[in-house]
Amino acid sequence: MAQVASNSSTSEQAAGAQGLQFLLNDKLIHLNHCPPTQTVLQYLRTEQNLVGSKEGCAEGDCGACTVVLGELNHQTIADERAVRLRAANACIQFMPTLDGKALYTVEYLRQASGELHPVQQAMVDCNGSQCGFCTPGFVMSLWSMYLEHQANNTQPSDIEVRTALSGNLCRCTGYKPILQAGQAMFDLPSVNFDHVKLGMQLNALQREEPMTLPSISAARIDKNINDSDVTYFYAPKNLAQLITLRTAKPEATVLAGGTDVGLWVTKQLKSLGDIIYIGQVTELHQLQRTDQGLHIGAAVNLSDALQLIAKHYPQINEQWQRFASVPVRNAGTLGGNVANGSPIGDSMPWLIVLGAQVHLTSERGERHLPLEDLYVDYMQKSMHADEIITAITLPLPKPLQRFATHKLSKRYDSDISAVCAAFAIELDHNNMITDVRIAFGGIAAIPKRATKAEATLNDQPWSEASVQAAMQALAEDYAPLSDMRASAQNRAQSAANLLYRFYLETRTEQPLSVSQLSVFNHEANT
């Protein structure tokens, strides 16, 4: 329940809480307590009667709930303005993660005069809505893009509009009119947004101390309610606080972007108990290129992380575009993808072949592990209960290294891989293989290197015969499963064919270009 001011009680102070503060459509909201896993969408619809944001799937896959979050840029490479406004899925974002942020819903957009915002007017003009249920979500995705381009005085390309809408499903229109609206909105009289003012407001909301937010009111806690009925949302501010908390509460759920954890609540109906949120830990927001390579803090979202990595490894561009959707990438983290360790996580195969290291920290100190060594068996990791993944580091590209990664799924946008492949190879001047790393996702219980296939290739010429032998050897590396994404036979065949595609692309004689090998890179109608 929204309360304008807090009457501090003893137990609140004991809990070290001053409550959750955020801006909702420019209005300051202060909550002294909140169920740690209440979603933003539930709050908007049931407690604020802001029903413009819809629930279409409650798992971040349809975008009907899309809102925009404004927050201060955490990144140490502060080459952008202080405030960022990005699309988010309200259906899987937990309320307490809003602390110190600004939340905008579709209800914010109509102007004071009652006129529609240019984003909305363009949607009307282009016939961008039919049943209208997905429309508020599309409007918010378009609005976040509008703000970005308006601030930079640019207009998006068709591909940029498509990317911005990759997390919104429409079942009626077939998308064409919405894509048109994404351009037409820039032709209407513009409506400005005051980034500077928001920056100041958000700065004023930043806290020095960690937040500890109870699930129920201080008054009820005071009435000696059974301790187990109260859960807490902890948002430490620095690494030391995080490690102390983790040591004290090894059973608590660690939360980063929540793009998977959110579904444990909305779909599996799990009670998560206490939550330790790493999103406010300053050190975990480090994102930089160092002499050793790329350092990606565990709280860095995928949009930022993939952007930096793609600067150095442009071969991941397609993976980047196809990694979930914009709102999921804005919330989800590379650390979370790696920590989750799902056999179908899309980052691990290429992180593994590029030699990524995972940084694990506990009270006993920090240790580094090659990423492939983190995974032991299905959902089993060589990680202690008190350890936190704090960063992932990636070496810089090697001059002779050839690298490629591919994702195979039923749909281009926002799908889960049937097979995800990554290859890195180094050849000497005699076309001999000096180093080869092959890893796949989707075809084993864990993301895993193809050691047998690699063995057949080491010290061999990079030739048709060698690649055929390696393709054969893949059968010994993996015993894929059949499921709704693909049959075992198809996964095996596709894995081998993807290796062959890599050969065609990197062979010394008459290599094929990417546009000759990928339907998604091909220039249409050439």
Partner 1 sequence: MSTEQSLSHAAPHESAALHTSGEATYIDDLLELSGTLHAALGLSEQAHAIINTIDLSQVTASEGVVAVLQAGDITGINDCGPINQDDPILADGLVQYIGQPIFAVVAHTLEQARMATHKAKIDYTPLPALFTPEEAQAQQHFVVPPMQCVQGEPAKKLETAPHRLQGTLKVGGQEQFYLEGQISYAIPQEDNGLHLYCSTQHPSEMQHLVAQALKLNKHQITVEIRRMGGGFGGKESQSAIFACIASVCAQQLQRPIKLRLDRDDDMMITGKRHCFYYDYDVGYDKHGRIVAAAVNMVLRAGFSTDLSPPVAARAVCHFDNAYYLSDAQIKASCGQTNTQSATAFRGFGGPQGALAIEMIMDNIARELGEDPLTIRKRNFYGKTTRNVTPYDQVVRDNVIHELVAELEVSSDYAKRQVEIKTFNQSSPVLKKGLALTPLKFGISFNVVHLNQAGALVHVYLDGSVLVNHGGTEMGQGLHTKIAQVVANELGLSLTHVKATATRTDKVANTSATAASTGADLNAMAAMKAAHSIKQRLIKVARTLVNDSQAEVIFADDTVQCNADHWAFSELVQLAYEQRVQLWADGFYKTPKLNWDKDAMKGNPFYYFAYGASVSEVLVDTLTGEFKLLRTDLLHDAGEALNPAIDIGQVEGGFIQGVGWLTTEELVWDARGKLMTHAPSTYKIPAVNDCPEIFNVQLFENSNREPTIMRSKAVGEPPLLLAFSVFFAIRDAIASVSNYEINPPLDAPATPERILNAVTQARSQASP
Contact 228, 249 (CB under 8 A): no
CB neighbour class for 369 (10 Å; exposed up to 12, middle 13-18, buried from 19): middle
- What CA–CA distances, in Å, run from 384 to 246, 247, 374? 11, 11, 11
Among 120, 144, 280, 466, binds partner 1 (CB under 8 A): 120
Which residue, 167 or 210, has its beta carbon nearer to partner 1?
A: 167
Which residue, 87 or 308, has its beta carbon nearer to partner 1?
A: 87
Structure tokens at 169: 């499903």
Q: Is 48 in the site for partner 1 (CB under 8 A)?
A: no
Among 31, 87, 123, 198, binds partner 1 (CB under 8 A): 123
Q: Is 329 in the site for partner 1 (CB under 8 A)?
A: no
Q: Is 267 in the site for partner 1 (CB under 8 A)?
A: yes
Q: Is 506 in the site for partner 1 (CB under 8 A)?
A: no
Rounded-to-integer distance, Cα 72 and Cα 203, Å: 8
- What CA–CA distances, in Å, run from 92 to 255, 325, 431? 12, 14, 50
Segment interacting with partner 1, rule: CB under 8 A, options 173-181, 192-200, 291-299, 443-451:
173-181
Spell out the alpha helix ranges (H) of 279-393.
302-312, 317-322, 326-331, 334-340, 348-353, 371-374
Structure tokens at 506: 């990197």
Shortest CB 51 distance to partner 1, Å? 4
Contact 184, 125 (CB under 8 A): yes
Nearest-CA neighbor of 517 among 318, 254, 329?
A: 318
Q: Is 109 in the site for partner 1 (CB under 8 A)?
A: yes
Which residue, 408 or 450, has its beta carbon nearer to partner 1?
A: 408
Segment interacting with partner 1, rule: CB under 8 A, options 10-18, 240-248, 362-370, 404-412:
404-412
Q: Is 364 in the site for partner 1 (CB under 8 A)?
A: no
Among 30, 101, 149, 162, binds partner 1 (CB under 8 A): 162
Q: From start to end of 58-162, where are the E strands?
A: 66-72, 83-89, 102-104
Contact 126, 184 (CB under 8 A): yes
Q: Is 148 in the site for partner 1 (CB under 8 A)?
A: no
Q: Is 356 in the site for partner 1 (CB under 8 A)?
A: no
Window 18-47: residues binding partner 1 (CB under 8 A):
45
Rounded-to-integer distance, Cα 384 and Cα 137, Å: 40
Q: Is 386 in the site for partner 1 (CB under 8 A)?
A: no
Which residue, 42 or 303, has its beta carbon nearer to partner 1?
A: 42
For 451-474, the three-class secondary structure string (H helix, E strand, C coil) is HHHHHHHCCCECCHHHHHHHHHHH
Among 166, 337, 340, 342, binds partner 1 (CB under 8 A): 166
Among 48, 201, 468, 490, binds partner 1 (CB under 8 A): 490
Q: Is 51 in the site for partner 1 (CB under 8 A)?
A: yes
Shortest CB 46 distance to partner 1, Å? 8
Among 28, 82, 151, 172, binds partner 1 (CB under 8 A): 172
Among 41, 64, 254, 287, binds partner 1 (CB under 8 A): 64
Q: Is 269 in the site for partner 1 (CB under 8 A)?
A: yes
Q: Which residues, at least 6 apart from 346, have a Cβ–Cβ distance to it below 8 Å?
A: 319, 322, 323, 337, 407, 417, 420, 441
Return the H-helix or E-strand segment holding 297.
strand 293-297
Q: Which residues, at least 6 apart from 509, have a Cβ–Cβ distance to it below 8 Å?
A: none
Structure tokens at 224: 């000696």
Structure tokens at 447: 């993301």
Helix axes 135-152, 118-125, angle to 10 degrees: 120
Segment interacting with partner 1, rule: CB under 8 A, options 25-33, 124-132, 205-213, 365-373:
124-132
Segment interacting with partner 1, rule: CB under 8 A, options 127-135, 309-317, 333-341, 388-396:
127-135
Residues in the chain: 526
Window 176-215: residues binding partner 1 (CB under 8 A):
176-179
Which residue, 23 or 495, has its beta carbon nearer to partner 1?
A: 495
Rounded-to-integer distance, Cα 33 and Cα 25, Å: 20
Q: Is 169 in the site for partner 1 (CB under 8 A)?
A: yes
Among 68, 467, 486, 492, binds partner 1 (CB under 8 A): 486
Q: Is 470 in the site for partner 1 (CB under 8 A)?
A: no
Among 130, 288, 460, 463, binds partner 1 (CB under 8 A): 130
Q: Which amino acid is at 398?
A: K
Segment interacting with partner 1, rule: CB under 8 A, options 102-110, 206-214, 247-255, 376-384:
102-110
Segment interacting with partner 1, rule: CB under 8 A, options 58-66, 212-220, 356-364, 433-441:
58-66
- Helix (DSSP H) and strand (DSSP E) numbers for the chain: 19, 20
Residue 73's SS3 state is coil
Q: Is 158 in the site for partner 1 (CB under 8 A)?
A: yes
Shortest CB 115 distance to partner 1, Å? 10
Shortest CB 317 distance to partner 1, Å? 14
Q: Is 418 in the site for partner 1 (CB under 8 A)?
A: yes
Q: Which residues, at least 6 apart from 19, have a Cβ–Cβ distance to it below 8 Å?
A: 6, 12, 30, 31, 32, 33, 213
Q: Is 144 in the site for partner 1 (CB under 8 A)?
A: no
Q: Is 345 in the site for partner 1 (CB under 8 A)?
A: no
